[in-house]
Each structure stands twice: as C-alpha cells, then as structure tokens.
Amino acid sequence: MTEPVVFTAAGIRRGMVASIPLLFGLAPFGLVCGITQQGVGFSLAETVLMAALVYAGAAQLVVLGTWTHPAPILAATLTTLVVNLRMALMGPVLAPWLDRMRGWRPWVSLFTLVDPSWALSVRDMNAGGRDGGYLLGVGGMMWVNWIVTSVAGHLLGAAIRPPPGHPIFFAALAVFVALLVNLWRGKLDLLPWAVAGAVAAATARLLPGTSWYMLAGALAGSLAGALRDARRSGS
C-alpha cells in the first residue's frame, strides 16, 4: 500500500536545510537583477514588490533588458508567459505530492516553485519522500533569498551607478546563453534553434526597442520543433 503524503513542519525544515547550498549559487543572479532594476529606474519598493510577487529571475531579466518608459505592459506580459511556460510541465511531475495536499498548501508551494526547488523535490519524491512540506521549505527559502539579494543588488547599483551599456546590463543574454548549453541535445535541435534565432533577429529589426522579438522567436522555434517531431513520428 502506498504511504500517505503528509505536510509537516519537519518536512519544511528539511527542505530549508537542503536549499542552503543553492542559495549561494543563486545569490549573484539576484544581485544582477537588483542592479538591473535600479539601472532602469525602479525604486527600492518596486524592486521588493517585483522580487516578491513576480519571482521569476529569467523572465524578470528578459523584461528588464528592454524596459522603457512607459512600460511595455503587453509585450512584457506575453514574454514572461512564454519564458515561464515550462512551469506548466513541471507542476504535474509533482502531482503525487500536490494532489494530496489540502487548503493553502499546494497553492503556496506552487507560488514558490522554481527550477532548483522542483529538481530537489522530484529527487526527494523519487527517493521515497512523502512529505510535501519539503517542497515549500526549499521554495520558501529561495523566495526569501531572491528578495534579499535583489534588494542588495538595488542598493549596490545605487552605490556604484554603472553607466548605460555597462556589461552588467547584458545579464539576461548571458543567462540564456548559459542555459542553452544544457538544453542542446544534438544536431536535431539545430533547425528549431536556427528558426528561432532568424525570426527573433528579423523581428528585432522590424520592431526595434521592443521585446516582441523574444516572443516571436520563441513561438517560431517551438513551432519548428513541433513540426520536426511530428514529421519524425510519422516517418
């Protein structure tokens, strides 16, 4: 018989402890985001609100990379949606835990869900872990860490005031280039990646100063990949 899933304070504490090594690795990411927010004109209060409510480092940096006044609300929203679509695939993997939580527990746990907390929780679940509090412990610690490091980055940016065009403001590009290294699966990925890059470059030339090129490139690359897979499965 499958053991029941529980949600305990001990599980939350265990998740918090497990997250500590990751906090040091993710701290520079939060610092860069805070510096970038200060550089585009965010107040300290706005930085705290964005870190606490949006809580999506890659999406935040992508949007901040093309931030203008007035803010590109529609483009920023759609770009964030595309960047975070992976979460729709990550959540169901944790269904053995989430489906057995009640009340506020699954919602708060999902709010704090990020890639590292997902990976640690899946590993714990596959190892036989039955305490859903572990997910909240890991994610909650990372959420607090993100707010703290974003605030520290904002204060650091106010102190050093890097000029426009400083390499620090290309952090979003650097982050996604680094992510691509782990996502590359071989020559089969060449076509969708090339399509995404070409469409993004063309859109950037047609609509300069906006972030629509990211959305267009992501959709075009995804479509090319889907058509590639459909063709392979039918052959």
Model confidence over 151-192: pLDDT tens digits? 999 999 999 887 776 776 676 566 666 666 666 777 888 888
- Do residues 19 and 124 lie in contact, with contact meaning Cβ atoms separated by under 8 Å? no
Q: Are 56 and 154 within 8 A, CB to CB? A: no
What pLDDT score was predicted for residue 160?
85
Residues 137, 196: one domain?
Answer: no
pLDDT number for residue 179: 60
- Section 81-99 average pLDDT: 83
Could you report the per-residue pLDDT of 108-124, keeping only the tens digit for each?
A: 999 999 888 999 999 99
pLDDT for residue 128 is more than 50: yes
Q: Mind listing the pLDDT tens digit for each residue in 28-45? A: 889 988 998 998 889 999
Q: What is the mean pLDDT of the chain?
A: 85
**Residue 2 belongs to some domain of the structure:** no
Q: pTM (2 decimals)?
A: 0.77
Q: So what's the pLDDT on residue 88?
A: 80
Q: Looking at the domain assignment, is residue 193 inside a domain?
A: yes
Quick check: is 179 in a domain? Answer: no
Check whether residue 65 and residue 95 sit in a common domain: yes
Higher-confidence residue of 170 and 15: namely 15
CB–CB of 143/55 below 8 Å? yes
pLDDT over 90 (residue 139): yes
| 165 and 193 both lie in a single domain | no
Does residue 148 have a pLDDT over 90?
yes
Shared domain check, 134 and 161: yes
Same domain for 189 and 165? no
222: pLDDT strictly greater than 60: yes
Report if residue 36 sits inside a domain.
yes
pLDDT attached to residue 136: 95
What is the b/e burial string over 135-173, where b = at least 16 CB atoms within 10 angstroms of the residue's CB? bbbbbbbbbbbbbbbbbebbbbbeeeeeeeeeebbebbe
- pLDDT for the residue 51: 93
| Number of domains within the chain | 2
Tell me whether residue 156 is in a domain.
yes
Whether 202 and 131 map to the same domain: the answer is no
In a domain? residue 102? yes
Structural domain harbouring 215: 184-235
Per-residue pLDDT, averaged over 85-103, amounts to 86
pLDDT at 1: 36
- Residue 3 lies inside a defined structural domain of this protein: no
Kindly state whether residues 141 and 209 are assigned to the same domain: no
Average pLDDT value for residue range 46-73: 83
Residues 6+ apart with CB under 8 A from 41: 67, 69
Query: Domain check: are 168 and 204 in the same one?
Result: no
Residue 1 lies in a domain: no
For the chain, the first-to-last Cα distance in angstroms comes to: 42
